Amino acid sequence: MNSRLQVKIRAGDSFRRYSFDEPPSWKSFLDHLNTHLYSDPSVLVPFRVEYKDDEDDLVTIDSEEEWQEMLKYKKSNLVTLIIKELPPLSQELQIRQEEIKQQEELKRQEELKRQEEFKRHEEIKRHEEIKRQEEIKRQEELKQQEEIKRKQELKKLEKDKEEEKFLQYMEKLKIMEKEISEIEEKNQKVRFSPKPVSSHNQNYYIKLYAPNLQTLYEAGFQDIQRNLYLLFTFNGDIDTVIDKLQYQYHH
């Protein structure tokens, strides 16, 4: 069914015709009339809308309900309406209209003020967010600096530990050298059994195998005479000496 509505307007001696894809509401129709019938839509001209019913009586339309009633019982898609301009508004009504206009202007200004206030709050929020992001960035940089400092301190501690370990090793080496010296002095008086070399060459071999004797000492083999004998026997081959010492230890 075609819902297109055609309206023929008679205003005084002139006729106008408008088409609507769908029947408009009463308010939309009045806005359409104000826009198209008068040269200055901002000036509201009072008028009355009428139509003839089936009994040929003029019926006034003044509300949405009356407008819908007319549309409901129209016989075709063409509706003829009569526009009658009313006498000018009384001074009281003009004042009332002016008050309404002022109120609308106040509402418009309040809306503008509200929008500006909203914009100001949004700008404040934006600045606060920027400040918050900068603070987060600053905190991250502080964390990174603290982490770098912590790693440097750990590195320094490790270095100090290594130095301490080295000093302990050197101290232990000095003790071993002292012990070896004491053994050399003792070996000048005590005969080796079995005797690896003559007592005349014994100090020579102790000095010759001093690094190997130190290694064996650190490995837990602290019998200097046995170590020296084995080193002499296997021509300083420390791996073979360690194997022999381990074998003797386990058997």
CB 108 within 8 A of CB 71: no
pLDDT of residue 191: 38
Q: Output 58 or 199, whichever has higher pLDDT.
A: 58
How does residue 136 score in pLDDT terms, banded at 50, 70 and 90? very high
Q: Are strands 14-20 and 5-11 parallel, antiparallel or unpaired?
A: antiparallel
Q: Determine contact, residues 214/228, Cβ cutoff 8 Å.
A: no
Residue 193 pLDDT: 41
| More confident position, 229 or 91 | 229
| Residue written as token pair 């000048």 | 188
Peptide bond into 194 cis (omega under 30): yes
Q: What is the reported pTM?
A: 0.34
Q: Look over the chain and give the mean of its residue pLDDT values, rounded to a whole number.
A: 80
